[in-house]
Amino acid sequence: MKRSSSGGVREHWEELVKTAAQVEASTLGAYEPARAGFTWEAARGELDGLPGGHGLNIAHEAVDRHAAGPRREHLALRWIGRHGDVRDFTYQALAEWSNRCAGALTVLGLRKGDVVAVLAGRIPELYIAALGILKAGGVFCPMFSAFGPEPVQARMRIARARVLVTTTSLYHRKVEPIRSDLPDLEHVLLVRDGDGPIDVPGAHDFGERLAAADTRFVIPPTDPEDPALLHFTSGTTGRPKGALHVHEAVVAHHVTGRLALDLHPDDVFWCTADPGWVTGTSYGIIAPLTNGVTSIVDEGDFDAERWYGILRDQRVTVWYTAPTAVRMMMKMGTALAQQYALPHLRFLASVGEPLNPEAVMWGVEAFGLPFHDNWWQTETGGIMIANFASMPIRPGSMGRPLPGIDVGIVRRTASGVEEIDDPDVEGELALRQGWPSMFRGYLHDEARYRACFAGGWYLTGDLARRDRDGYCWFVGRADDVIKSSGHLIGPFEVESALMEHPAVAEAGVIGKPDPVALEVVKAFVALKSGYAADEALRRSLLAFARQRLGAAVAPKEIDFLPTLPKTRSGKIMRRLLKARELGLPEGDLSTLEPL
């Protein structure tokens, strides 16, 4: 599809149809046959397993098996530093560096199942550590580097981390103040990013330890059910939970990378997520490597021009990003995007929040390519629902379930759950239990874990509906849905309608208690530059929404905010908008992005 004026885009609003050539060239092929022919057992067969039948280890599948084969010299990871410096790692190099790290951890006495927390920006050592920890039998627990001491302490205590990998500067700023509250922490591996001695209890110099270690390492036998990853959720709805994943998850990382992100061996793939969140690990580390592609890592923070430059200069072919980033780029204007020639870019995907149809279509305006939304959670470990490269996109829909994934729309009942078979009826989104990357527990919260399952389903806490053709449509989180005068209103629908207004950059919608209607819809809106937050615009937005949504669903009130409160992983925190509106306690703010 070529870039076009917005007039042309509107013609494709209902559905973005794929050509036969696109279907054929995609890694999924035609959806129905691919789904019918899929088994997880066969998917497992796409991976090697550890030599000698010693089980399944994520890091072996990610790097060692490529290092031992024809992709040995293929570029696995290109790291771009904040100031533009570049470090390249072939599969062979990454295998050796991660071997050194695994060896160093083993020398320190790491035992199978020990949690190793990693607090670092997107530096090469983070990626080496992740793979080294997995090789050594540890559990990789990434922590977002912008967390303050409190959230670091809370997570490390829940995780009972014995080892921490971090940088000298992050240690001094974030860990030192809470060190006495971390009784389980024995070893700190410090990456030097400043001058000065490493005079910290239990400290070791990461660089020196790796330099002294062997480039060879034999991964000990790994049961597919051995714990591998501990990820904390985004904290959008409350206190973050620690979701535990096992090595078998790699089967899902691998096939979902191939099928939902359409990874082909020669792709240059860029996942913009930070490994502090599950996307940045499942698709920023594991899936691209198991698929043998070249993965781009940018240390820098979001900056539209920097990002366009990376897409162009690195010849990125597949780009996986998030709705907030897309909205920020939209805010900067289509003309800016169009200044960059991006002939290599062929597939755009997004996750993390509902992707407004406006954003899907903006991709066509700006890049000649639509964004493909997909849905999943920390708990699911990998993509579960997607708009595939081979499938017509319905803008605003999350797409259809991955092969091997059974989606149900269910209603909770006193005795369990009941499936809703009728199309277009809202209910809770559920997944049939048992896919490889399903989380195996919330750490130290067994009761909460068990409460997520009923009647063979994992209940996601999200509301959705499924249309006649099996496309799933996100309605809202169960906690965020608004009940107004007998209607159930999903905030996403209202936010998407507001986003269609040319002045609106972002919208967040809540239910505000009302004596008559139970709740009324209230919207918070951030404007694009050049628009004044005045009474005339407020009235115009109210009328615009009423015209699109009808009086029953449209917001009754609109407030302007310079920007909406978001988690550090980029999700609008509707619970905070609501708490502030109602003057209620603000709850856990450990993941709130500072303004």
The footprint of ligand ATP (CB under 6 A) covers 233-238, 240-241, 351-355, 373-375, 377-378, 398, 460, 462, 474, 477, 569, 571
Q: How far is the CB of 437 from Mg ion (least distance, A)?
A: 15
**CA-based nearest residue to 44, from 225, 255, 246:** 255
* Partner that binds at residue 462, options Mg ion, ligand ATP, none, CB closer than 5 to 8 Å by kind: ligand ATP
Q: What are the respective helix, strand and coil percentages of the chain, to the nearest 5?
A: 35, 25, 40
Q: How far apart are CA 311 and CA 367, in angstroms?
A: 11
d(CA 92, CA 63): 8
SS3 388: coil
Q: CB under 5 to 8 A by kind: which of Mg ion, ligand ATP, none does 155 bind?
A: none
Q: Report, in Å, the least distance between residue 237 CB and ligand ATP.
A: 3
Q: How far is the CB of 569 from Mg ion (least distance, A)?
A: 11
Residue 113: CB minimum distance to ligand ATP, A: 23
- Which of 72, 580 has the CB closer to ligand ATP? 580
Residue 352 interacts with, from ligand ATP, Mg ion, none (CB under 5-8 Å by kind): ligand ATP
- Please tell me what DSSP assigns to residue 293: -
- In the bound state, the residue with its beta carbon closest to Mg ion is 233
3-state secondary structure of 461: strand
Residues 6+ apart with CB under 8 A from 333: none
Beta bridge pairs of residue 480: none
Of residues 138 and 352, the one with the C-beta less far from ligand ATP = 352
* DSSP secondary structure letters along 474-536: EEEEGGG-EEETTEEE-HHHHHHHHHTSTTEEEEEEEEEEETTTEEEEEEEEEEPTT----HH
Rounded least distance, CB 572 to ligand ATP, Å: 10
Q: Which is nearer to Mg ion, 233 or 591 (CB)?
A: 233
Q: Across the strands, what pairs with 457?
A: 432, 454
For residues 149 and 174, is the Cβ–Cβ distance under 8 A?
yes
Residue 65 binds which of Mg ion, ligand ATP, none (CB < 5-8 A, kind-dependent): none
Nearest to 123 by CA among 182, 155, 174, 77: 77
Query: In this structure, which long-range contacts are made by residues 65-69, counting pairs with CB atoms below 8 Å and at least 24 apart in sequence?
Result: 66/91, 66/95, 66/289, 66/292, 67/91, 67/92, 67/94, 67/95, 67/96
Contact partners, residue 288, CB within 8 Å, separation at least 6:
257, 263, 269, 271, 294, 295
Minimum distance, C-beta of residue 82 to ligand ATP, in the bound complex (Å): 25
* 101 touches 129 (CB < 8 A): yes
Q: Which contacts (CB < 8 Å, 24+ apart) does range 51-57 have?
A: 54/219, 54/220, 54/221, 54/222, 55/221, 55/222, 55/223, 55/224, 55/226, 55/247, 56/222, 56/223, 56/224, 56/247, 56/248, 56/250, 56/251, 57/134, 57/135, 57/219, 57/222, 57/247
Q: What residue 96 binds from ligand ATP, Mg ion, none (CB within 5 to 8 A, per partner kind)?
A: none
Q: What is the DSSP letter of 172?
A: I
Collapsing DSSP to helix, strand or coil, 103 comes out as helix
For ligand ATP, give the closer residue by CB, 229 or 355. Answer: 355
**Looking only at Cα atoms, what is the longest distance across the chain?**
72
> Residues touching Mg ion: how many (CB under 5 A)?
1
Q: Out of Mg ion, ligand ATP, none, which partner does residue 357 contact, by CB within 5 to 8 A per kind?
A: none
Spell out, one character per residue from 220 to 249, where the chain touches Mg ion: x when CB under 5 A holds, - when not: -------------x----------------
With beta carbons less than 8 A apart as the criterion, state whether 193 and 167 touch: yes
> What does 405 interact with, of ligand ATP, Mg ion, none (CB < 5 to 8 A by kind)?
none
Q: Which is nearer to ligand ATP, 132 or 240 (CB)?
A: 240
358 binds, among Mg ion, ligand ATP, none (CB under 5 to 8 A by kind): none
Between 121 and 381, name the residue whose CB sits nearer to ligand ATP: 381
**Nearest distance from residue 571's CB to ligand ATP, in Å?**
5
Our CB check for ligand ATP shows the closer of 224 and 396 to be 396
Chosen from Mg ion, ligand ATP, none, partner binding at 373 (C-beta under 5 to 8 Å by type) = ligand ATP
Shortest distance (Å) from residue 479 CB to ligand ATP:
8
- In the complex, the smallest distance separating the C-beta of residue 510 from Mg ion, rounded to whole angstroms, is 18
Contacts of 218 (CB under 8 A, 6+ apart): none
Minimal distance in Å, beta carbon 326 to ligand ATP? 12
Min CB(384)–ligand ATP separation in Å = 9
73 or 586: whose CB is closer to ligand ATP? 586
What residues are paired with 261 via a beta bridge?
none
Q: Which does 294 bind (CB under 5 to 8 A by kind): ligand ATP, Mg ion, none?
A: none
Q: Nearest approach, Cβ of 273 to ligand ATP (angstroms)? A: 10
Residue 387 binding partner per list Mg ion, ligand ATP, none, with a CB distance cut-off of 5 to 8 Å that depends on partner kind? none
Closest to ligand ATP by CB, 455 vs 587, is 587
| Residue 284 interacts with which of ligand ATP, Mg ion, none, CB < 5 to 8 Å by class | none
Closer by beta carbon to Mg ion, 99 or else 591: 591
Nearer to ligand ATP, 144 or 307 (CB): 144
Cβ-contact 297, 78 below 8 angstroms: yes
Residue 348 or 355 having the CB closest to Mg ion: 355
**How far is 553 from 559, CA to CA, in rounded Å?**
17
Instruction: Please report, as ranges, the residues that interact with Mg ion according to CB under 5 A.
Output: 233
